[in-house]
C-alpha cells in the first residue's frame, strides 16, 4: 500500500471519527434536556410515497397523543426540532421572533430569483419588508381591484363558451391556474397574458415551471445552514432560462413605463415608485435584481397558492351542496345592497359566510402544510406554565406541522368535515392562539395575504353567482396530493367538476 493511499484512508477515518464524535455530542446535548429524539429517515422514506405534509401530520398527532411538546431529529448536518405545543409555537414565532426570523433557505447572489423576501435572512429581510409592506394596504388593493374584475369577466366568458359547446365536465384546477396566471401577470408584470383564452402562452408555460427547482428542497435547507459552501459551488435554485425570462420581462416593463410615463396602479408601479424614491439611506437600496426577485416571489405566491385554494374551495362546495347554497345566498344578500348588483372590494368584506368558507378551505387544505424556521442565536423556549421547555442552539431548524394542527380534533372536532361555521367569531374565541396558521403568524407571516384573500374571495363570489358546481363521474371522491412537491400541498391528477349555468 502506497503512502498516498494510506494518507487517504487515514483522512477518511479521521473525518468519519469527527462526524461520529460530533453526532454523539449532539445526542448528549438533547438527552441532557430530556428531549426525546426521532429518526428523520423513516419520514424521508415515507415522503417519497405520500406528501410530506401528511407524513409530518401523522408524526404530529403521535406527539400530541403522547403529550410531547417537542422532539428532535439530531444530525451532524441538520438538526430539526419538531414543535407540537402551541404555546411554544407562539413563543418562537412572536415573543422570540428575532431569534427565529430566518426561514433557513439558500440565497445565491448570482441567482437573482433566489433573492426573494421569503428566503432573505433577517438583516436583509427587515428593510425589504419595510419597503414592500405599504404595497398591500387596503387602499392599494382597491386600485388593483378593477383588474380583477376585468379578468374575472373573461373567466366567466371562457366557462360559458365551454358550456355552450356542450362541455360540462371541466378541469377546474386548470381553469383556476389560468385565471390566477392572468391576474398575477397583469398586476405584477403589467402583461396581458390571456392564458384563459390561450393556455399555451409563454407566460403560462414559464409559470408552470416556476417551482421546478434545480436542486431538491432539502438541499435548499442545507444551503441555508452552509451558505458559504453552496456559494463556492455556485449552486442555483433556478435555471438560467427561467432567470433570463423573468429578468427580461421586468426590465422591459420598467423601461417602457418610465419612457412613456405610464401608470397602471399595479404592483409593478408601486415597486417602480419605491425604486425612484429609495435613496438607500437605510443602507439597503432597491436594485433591479431585488425588484425581479420580489415580483417573481409575488408571482409564485399568487399564482400557485391562490389557484390551489380556489380549486379546493370549489371542490368542497361541490361536495357539500348545502354549503354551496348558503355561500351563494350570502353573496346574493350583499349584492342586492350594492350598486348595479356588482361585486365590490368593500362588498367582499361583508360576505362573511363566503369568507368563513375560504378560511375553512385553508384549514382543511393549508397550501403550505409545514412551517420552517432557523434559530439565529441560542434561545430558551418556555411552555404554557412559563417553565423552560428547552435551550435551542444556533443554526437549529424548527419544524411546525400546520396540516397536523389544522386536523387536530381537539381544536377542530370532526376535522375531515367541511364546516365554515368553525370560523364564526364565537367559535374562533374558543380555540387557543396559533391553532390556525395558513399564512404563518407573527412578523414574518405572508406579506401578500390580503391580496390572496381578495383574489380568492372575488373569484368565488363571481363564479358562484353565475354557475352551480357539482361532482361529475370523473371527480375524485378523495383528493390525493403530489409527493413530488413537498413545499406546497398540490393535488395530484387535477380536479374535474360538473358546471351548470344558473
Distance from C-alpha of 61 to C-alpha of 65, rounded to nearest angstrom? 6
- Specify if 447 maps to a domain: yes
Mean pLDDT value of segment 326-340: 92
Residue 101 belongs to a domain: yes
Return the top range by mean pLDDT from 171-175, 223-227, 280-284. 171-175
pLDDT at 75 > cutoff 90 = no
Helix or strand (DSSP H, E) at 90? helix 86-90
Nearest-5° Cα angle at 73, 408 to 383: 55
Most confident of 264-278, 279-293, 315-329, 437-451: 315-329
- Exposed, middle or buried by CB within 10 Å (0-12, 13-18, 19+), for 149? middle
Dist. CA 103–CA 398, nearest whole Å: 9
3-state secondary structure of 83: strand
Contact by Cβ (8 Å): 415, 409: yes
* Whether residue 150 sits in one domain with residue 26: no
Of residues 286 and 375, more confidently modeled: 375
User: 386 and 313: one domain?
Assistant: yes
85 and 161 in one domain? yes
Domain membership flag for residue 125 = no
- Whether residue 432 lies inside any domain: the answer is yes
What pLDDT sits at residue 283? Answer: 55
What number of other Cβ atoms are within 10 A of residue 157's Cβ? 12
Residue 209 phi, psi (nearest 5): -90, 0
Asked if residue 239 has pLDDT above 60, the reply is yes
Contacts of 162 (CB under 8 A, 6+ apart): 170
Within-domain flag for 369: yes
Residue 290 lies in a domain: no
Q: Are 436 and 407 in contact (CB under 8 A)?
A: no
* pLDDT at residue number 278: 64
Residue 116 included in any domain: no
Q: Considering only the C-alpha atoms of the chain, give the largest distance between any 2 of them, rounded to a whole number of Å.
A: 90
434 in a known ligand binding site? no
Length of the chain equals 502
Least confident range from 42-46, 85-89, 101-105, 189-193: namely 189-193
Question: Same structural domain for residues 337 and 416?
Answer: yes
Residue 222 — pLDDT band, cuts 50, 70, 90? confident
My answer on whether 12 and 49 are in the same domain is no
Question: HSE of 332 in the Cβ direction (CA atoms, 13 Å)?
Answer: 10
pLDDT at residue 284 in the model:
60
> Nearest CA to 220 among 16, 397, 394?
397
* pLDDT of 77 above 90: no
Please state the φ and ψ torsions of residue 400, each to the nearest 5 degrees. -130, 125
Q: Cα separation of 50 and 36, whole Å?
A: 25
Q: Residue 41 corresponds to which cell in the numbers above?
A: 429517515
Both 12 and 57 in one domain: the answer is: no
The arithmetic mean of pLDDT across residues 80-104, rounded, is 91
Domain match, 26 and 65 both: no
State how far the Cα of 182 lies from the Cα of 370, in Å rounded to an integer: 28
User: Is the pLDDT assigned to residue 66 strictly greater than 90?
Assistant: yes
Total domain count for the chain? Answer: 2
Enumerate residues 6+ apart whose C-beta is below 8 A from 325: none
The per-residue pLDDT for 300 is: 78
Please say if the pLDDT value at position 55 is more than 70. Answer: yes
Q: Where are the alpha helices (DSSP H) in 226-374?
A: 227-232, 240-260, 267-277, 288-300, 306-319, 321-336, 345-350, 352-364
Distances (CA, A) of 16 to 1, 10, 75, 442: 21, 10, 14, 41
334 and 458 co-located in one domain: yes
What pLDDT score does 409 carry?
97
Of 55-64, 193-202, 446-455, the range with the lowest mean pLDDT is 193-202
| pLDDT over 60 (residue 341) | yes
Report how far residue 209's alpha carbon sits from residue 138's, in angstroms, rounded to the nearest whole number. 31
Domain assignment of residue 241, yes or no: no
- pLDDT tens digit string along 462-493? 999 999 999 999 999 999 999 988 889 999 88
What Cα–Cα distance (Å) separates residue 393 from each residue in 17, 333, 371? Answer: 23, 54, 19
The partner residues of 450 in beta bridges, in order of sequence, read none
Q: Is the pLDDT of residue 37 over 70?
A: yes
Mean pLDDT calculated for residue range 252-261: 86
Torsion sign (Cα): 33, 87, 41, 379: negative
Residue 86 and residue 147 in one domain: yes
Same domain for 22 and 41, yes or no, is no
CB 148 within 8 A of CB 455: yes
Mean pLDDT, the chain, integer: 87
- Tell me what pLDDT residue 497 has: 97
Q: How confident is the model at residue 340 (pLDDT cuts 50, 70, 90)?
A: confident
Q: Are residues 56 and 9 in the same domain?
A: no
Say yes or no: 13 and 69 in one domain: no
Domain of 18 in residue numbering reads as 1-33
The dihedrals phi and psi of 291, each to the nearest 5 degrees, come to -65, -45
Query: For a pLDDT cut of 90, what percent of the chain falls above it?
Result: 44
Q: Three-class SS of residue 388?
A: strand
* Residue carrying C-alpha cell 456559494: 231
CATH number for the domain including 404?
1.10.630.10
Amino acid at each position: 500500500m502506497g503512502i498516498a493511499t494510506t494518507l487517504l484512508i487515514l483522512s477518511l477515518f479521521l473525518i468519519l471519527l469527527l462526524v461520529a464524535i460530533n453526532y454523539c455530542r449532539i445526542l448528549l446535548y438533547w438527552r441532557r434536556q430530556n428531549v426525546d429524539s426521532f429518526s428523520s429517515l423513516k419520514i424521508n422514506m415515507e415522503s417519497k410515497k405520500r406528501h410530506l405534509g401528511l407524513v409530518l401530520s401523522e408524526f404530529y398527532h403521535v406527539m400530541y397523543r403522547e403529550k410531547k411538546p417537542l422532539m428532535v431529529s439530531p444530525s451532524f448536518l441538520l438538526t430539526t426540532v419538531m414543535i407540537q405545543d402551541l404555546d411554544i409555537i407562539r413563543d418562537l414565532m412572536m415573543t422570540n421572533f428575532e431569534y427565529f426570523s430566518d426561514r433557513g433557505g439558500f440565497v445565491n447572489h448570482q441567482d437573482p430569483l433566489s433573492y426573494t423576501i421569503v428566503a432573505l435572512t433577517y438583516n436583509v429581510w427587515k428593510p425589504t419588508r419595510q419597503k414592500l409592506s405599504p404595497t398591500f394596504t387596503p387602499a392599494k388593493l382597491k386600485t388593483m381591484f378593477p383588474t380583477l374584475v376585468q379578468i374575472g369577466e373573461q373567466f366567466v366568458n371562457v366557462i360559458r363558451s365551454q358550456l355552450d359547446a356542450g362541455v360540462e365536465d371541466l378541469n377546474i384546477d386548470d381553469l383556476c391556474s389560468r385565471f390566477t396566471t392572468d391576474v398575477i401577470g397583469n398586476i405584477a408584470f403589467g402583461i396581458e397574458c390571456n392564458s384563459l383564452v390561450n393556455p399555451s402562452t409563454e407566460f403560462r408555460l414559464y409559470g408552470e415551471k416556476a417551482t421546478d427547482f434545480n436542486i431538491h428542497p432539502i438541499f435548499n435547507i442545507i444551503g441555508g445552514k452552509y451558505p458559504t459552501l453552496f456559494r463556492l459551488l455556485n449552486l442555483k435554485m433556478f435555471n438560467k432560462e427561467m432567470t433570463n425570462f423573468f429578468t427580461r420581462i421586468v426590465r422591459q416593463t420598467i423601461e417602457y413605463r418610465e419612457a412613456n410615463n405610464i401608470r397602471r396602479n399595479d404592483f409593478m408601479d408601486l415597486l417602480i415608485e419605491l425604486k425612484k424614491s429609495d435613496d438607500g439611506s437605510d443602507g439597503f437600496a432597491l436594485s433591479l435584481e431585488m425588484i425581479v426577485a420580489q415580483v417573481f416571489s409575488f408571482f409564485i405566491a399568487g399564482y400557485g397558492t391562490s389557484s390551489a385554494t380556489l380549486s379546493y374551495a370549489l371542490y368542497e362546495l361541490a361536495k357539500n351542496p348545502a354549503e354551496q347554497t348558503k355561500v351563494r345566498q350570502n353573496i346574493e344578500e350583499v349584492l342586492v345592497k350594492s350598486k348595479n348588483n356588482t361585486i365590490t372590494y368593500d362588498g367582499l368584506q361583508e360576505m362573511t359566510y363566503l369568507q368563513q368558507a375560504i378560511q375553512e378551505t385553508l384549514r382543511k387544505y393549508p397550501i403550505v402544510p409545514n412551517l420552517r424556521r432557523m434559530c439565529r442565536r441560542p434561545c430558551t423556549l418556555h411552555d404554557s406554565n412559563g417553565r423552560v421547555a428547552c435551550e435551542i442552539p444556533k443554526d437549529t431548524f424548527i419544524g411546525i406541522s400546520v396540516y397536523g394542527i389544522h386536523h387536530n380534533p381537539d381544536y377542530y372536532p370532526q376535522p375531515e368535515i367541511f364546516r365554515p361555521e368553525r370560523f364564526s367569531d364565537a367559535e374562533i374565541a374558543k380555540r387557543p392562539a396559533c391553532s390556525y396558521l395558513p399564512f404563518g403568524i407573527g412578523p414574518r407571516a405572508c406579506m401578500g395575504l390580503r391580496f390572496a384573500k381578495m383574489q380568492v374571495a372575488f373569484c368565488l363570489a363571481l363564479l358562484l353567482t353565475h354557475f352551480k358546481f357539482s361532482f361529475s363521474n370523473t371527480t375524485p371522491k378523495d383528493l390525493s396530493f403530489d409527493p413530488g412537491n413537498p413545499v406546497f400541498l398540490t393535488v395530484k391528477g387535477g380536479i374535474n367538476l360538473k358546471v351548470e349555468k344558473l
